[in-house]
Amino acid sequence: MKVLVLSAHPILEASVVCRKLLAGIRREAGISVVDLYERYPDFNIDVPAEQKRLEAADVIIFQHPFYWYSTPAILKEWTDLVLEHGWAYGRDGTALEGKFLMNALSTGGSADAYGESGTNRYTIPEFLVPIAQTAALCRMTYLPPYVVFEGRRLERQALAETAGLFKDLLCGLRDDRVDPKALARYRLANNAVGKLYGPGAEGAGT
């Protein structure tokens, strides 16, 4: 499958986590990375070009830091403009049918903070419900998010490991080693590592 990564970090030069995730995949064949803030510094999004890019992709990844329990602003603007009625949704809007959508994000908050008893009260998949439903409306399958919790606090080695797992996941989807339908049964894509692919792969889901 062809993988399209739409990266949205307003200051990528100052990023630690997103930059590391992107560095691992930038030179991979069959995986294209688009830096939305670099391409559209004035938010003047080229809708036909973005739609063409989407049509050529099978898996679409929103890659971003978690900002106010959501995406940075350009991804919302991109969604508002690019996913047009009659193209992405509606009776004749079938351009995205059968494709897959996933968020790959980094947080400042810890994994413990994201749950009923944590400071943030809700899980990451709960915060991402509007994006999951956008995918459903556009007849796409929403895949569980890949989340790097507290990435800036990770030791270099641990950060490199999580970037490596992210790369394996995308390469696995690209090469049909990871079955997206099986992946969709997991709460977080991170939990599928080693179960859907890699040593001892079984494909159970949680």
Ligand X SMILES: Cc1cc2nc3c(=O)[nH]c(=O)nc-3n(C[C@H](O)[C@H](O)[C@H](O)COP(=O)(O)O)c2cc1C
Q: Of the ranges 10-18, 76-84, 131-139, 160-168, which one interacts with ligand X (CB under 6 A)?
A: 10-18
Q: Are 148 and 17 in contact (CB under 8 A)?
A: yes
Give dist(CA 67, CA 105) in Å, integer: 10
Closest CB 16 distance from ligand X, rounded Å: 4
# binding residues, ligand X (CB under 6 A):
16
Give dist(CA 116, CA 105) in Å, integer: 20
Residue 181 binds to ligand X (criterion: CB under 6 A)? no
Residue 18 binds to ligand X (criterion: CB under 6 A)? yes
Nearest 5°: phi and psi at 134?
A: -60, -45
What one-character-per-residue DSSP string does 105-146 give? EE-SS-TTTSSTTSTT-S-HHHHTHHHHHHHHHTTPEEPPPE
Q: Which is nearer to ligand X, 66 or 87 (CB)?
A: 66
Considering only residues 71, 103, 107, 190, which one is a binding residue for ligand X as defined by CB under 6 A? Answer: 107
Considering only residues 152, 153, 175, 204, which one is a binding residue for ligand X as defined by CB under 6 A? Answer: 152
Closest CB 171 distance from ligand X, rounded Å: 21
